[in-house]
Chains A and B, each alone.
Chain A
Amino acid sequence: MATQSALGGWLHRFTDSDVWWSFKSSPMTVTAAAATFFIVAVAFLSPVLAPHTPFDPATLSLSDGLKPPVLVSPDGDWTFPLGTDDQGRDVLSSIMYGTRLSLVVGFASVVVAMVLGIALGLVSGYIGGVTDAVIMRIADVQLTFPAILVALLIDGVVRGIISVQRHDEIAIFVIVGAIGLSFWVQYARTVRGSVLVEKNKEYVQAARVIGLSPALIMVRHVLPNVTGPVLVIATINLGLAIITEATLSFLGVGLPSTEPSLGTLIRLGNEVLQSGDWWITVFPGATLAALVLAVNLLGDWLRDALNPKLR
């Protein structure tokens, strides 16, 4: 009972807030949120919803290969509404599984970047001195290079260290790590900036006086006060991370074709594009664009909603 009323109170506070109001009053944002929710839900329910299991070779038949989508051609087959690729894989099911993988990699790499960036930003801002200088100079150097280049380099180095076969097994972790490592700088800089402001405030001094450890002060007292901007960066970076993963997979250095994300699907489709079988490429591409657009719109809205200057 107590938890229920607490939940009710929390819900009431939320529906009463400025953020919720600005969300409600922007039809574009509501649409974007609905689209994001739809794509995420369908992607994660793909084992249940997908009509085929496209990457189980036992269920494939070459005679189903290169069927066009139902709506544009009489040769279409309702069992494959968006057509099939040259191996006879159902494009719709591939997209559903692929989206799930793209989302997982996107989320995971944002989390890696966020945790790394927050930790380094906290340490850098709170401790200062040489530690701060070293971390921030590394950040400066890394910022000179676009994230995709850093991710490519990390991937290339890992390939140099481990064997090809082993690489395919851990490809997803390599990609998450590479993207995470190439996006941490923005978080670190933001958190450091906020920490520099917060650490001289009285509540932090008070915490120090009662003898709390620096780690505890950073995590329990300083961190909650810097979450707003971090959340905004994370939302905007989610779209970027999904694009980066898709780009790496498209370049053939991301996820292997046995476990294709949207980017891998587009690469596979691109290989047969010259023969005019557009649906293998265009549908995964449209899904990717819709997903990123929806996430970006949400990110833009969140940035404006949490910015008091714009109210």
Chain B
Amino acid sequence: MIAFILRRLLQSIAVLLAVGLVAFSLFRYVGDPINAMVGQDTTMEQREELRTKLGLNDPAPIQFLRFLSNAARGNFGLSYRTSEPVGRLIVERMPATLELSFCAALFALFVGVPMGVYTGLYPKHWSSRLLQAVSLIGISLPTFLIGILLILVFAVYLHWLPSFGRGQTVQIGWWTTNFLTISGLKALILPSITLGLFQLTLLMRLVRSEMLEVMRTDYIKFARARGLTNRAINFGHALKNTLVPVITVTGLQLGALIAFAIVTETVFAWPGVGQLFIQSVQFSDIPVMAAYLLLIGLLFVLINLTVDLLYFAVDPRLRSQTGGPRMAGH
């Protein structure tokens, strides 16, 4: 187990270094950092002097190391577009994205898993077939379209919920939260549903097929023979054994949630990191793009590591083995 964790740690570090290299190449070679800092009338000599001063004439490996150590301290340089420090821009917008992704993940988990259990237990029932058909449509609808339709119905026609922004937020330290005001909570509803719907359908279909598989196995028959209640069998025995793939997919989808937050934030004018990123792509604001890439890379690596560790917590068979878990879902 220790060996497995160490190996995964090393792999994670390698992935992070690769992402760092891509971010560095973007930062250093796409677009000229000097051009962004000085005016039109700066002479070539002054530019060259600035270059040397900033270390842009040093060998590439040294610049790379400097880039990494700066990044580790949250220093990503200045945004080309707003001339503000990129680190601060991102920190300001991070809470919005994290709260949105968190709510979307909760929505997907607490609606998707029960729906999957239900359709898996009663696959022939008409309501299961209906859910199954609806979920297929859910997978085929792009995120932004779901958002637009929700806005059209609940904001434009019914006027129940706001269609853009975070509403009123409360500042706690550097963190701004939606959870403490009514308008903040109301503003969260539509974006969370939009962002979570795809993950919900995915989870539902996954849990359903896993449940169908598990319900056929012998130990479920034995559990029935022992006279356990349906509830104990369905949730204590069956659902528990579907958890490994569910955790894998939830973990991997957490990354996807943060990526698709870009789309949801654009639809709902949600002031998060995704919106910042899409603006930086439109203006080719390289420092912001590089910082976002590094941040997302770090987040994904951490999520994947956590998922791997969770296997051990969930599946006791793995703890007794010396090797790594057989990767479920691959």
Contact = CB atoms under 8 A, between A and B. Distances in A.
B143 to A, nearest CB: 7
A181 interface: no
Contact of A144 (B31, B144, B260, B300): B300
Q: Which of B145, B149, B284, B301 has the most CB of A within 10 A?
A: B145
A200 to B, nearest CB: 23
Given A160-B286, A239-B140, A251-B263, A285 B15 contact: no
Interface in B260-282: 260, 262-263, 266-267, 277-278, 280-282
Contact of B148 (A252, A285, A297): A285
A292 interface: yes
Given A159-B281, A251-B266, A273-B151, A141 B18 contact: yes
Given A144-B300, A156-B284, A289 B289 contact: no
A148 to B, nearest CB: 6
Given A156-B284, A160-B286, A281-B148, A148 B259 contact: yes
Given A146-B256, A146-B259, A288 B26 contact: no
Interface in A137-182: 137, 140-141, 144-146, 148-149, 152-153, 155-157, 159-161
A93 interface: no
B296 A266 contact: no
Contacts of A57: none
Contacts of B259: 145-146, 148-149
Given A251-B263, A253-B282, A273-B151, A144 B139 contact: no
B30 A157 contact: yes
A156 B151 CA distance: 28
B145 A266 contact: yes
Contacts of B278: 152, 251-253
Given A156-B284, A292-B142, A146 B293 contact: no
> How extensive is the interface on chain B, given as a class?
35 or more
Nearest to B14: A137
Given A153-B289, A159-B281, A292 B156 contact: no
B152 interface: yes
Interface string B135-167: 011011111110011011000110000010000
Contacts of B284: 156-157, 159-160
Contacts of A246: 142, 144
Interface in A173-210: none
Interface in B112-141: 136-137, 139-141
> How extensive is the interface on chain A, given as a class?
35 or more
Nearest to B15: A141
A289 B145 CA distance: 9
Interface string B86-100: 000000000000000
A296 B139 contact: yes
B118 to A, nearest CB: 22
A276 to B, nearest CB: 6
B191 interface: no
Interface in A240-268: 243, 246-247, 250-253, 266
B196 interface: no
Given A144-B304, A155-B281, 20 more contacts: A144-B255, A144-B300, A145-B296, A149-B296, A152-B278, A153-B281, A156-B281, A156-B284, A156-B286, A251-B263, A270-B148, A273-B148, A273-B152, A282-B152, A285-B149, A289-B137, A289-B140, A292-B142, A296-B139, A296-B140
Interface of B: 14-15, 18-19, 26, 30-31, 136-137, 139-145, 148-149, 151-152, 156-157, 163, 255-256, 259-260, 262-263, 266-267, 277-278, 280-282, 284, 286, 289, 293, 296-297, 300-301, 304
19 contacts: A144-B304, A148-B260, A149-B259, A149-B296, A156-B284, A156-B289, A157-B26, A157-B284, A160-B286, A161-B30, A246-B144, A250-B144, A250-B266, A251-B266, A251-B278, A252-B278, A285-B148, A289-B137, A292-B140
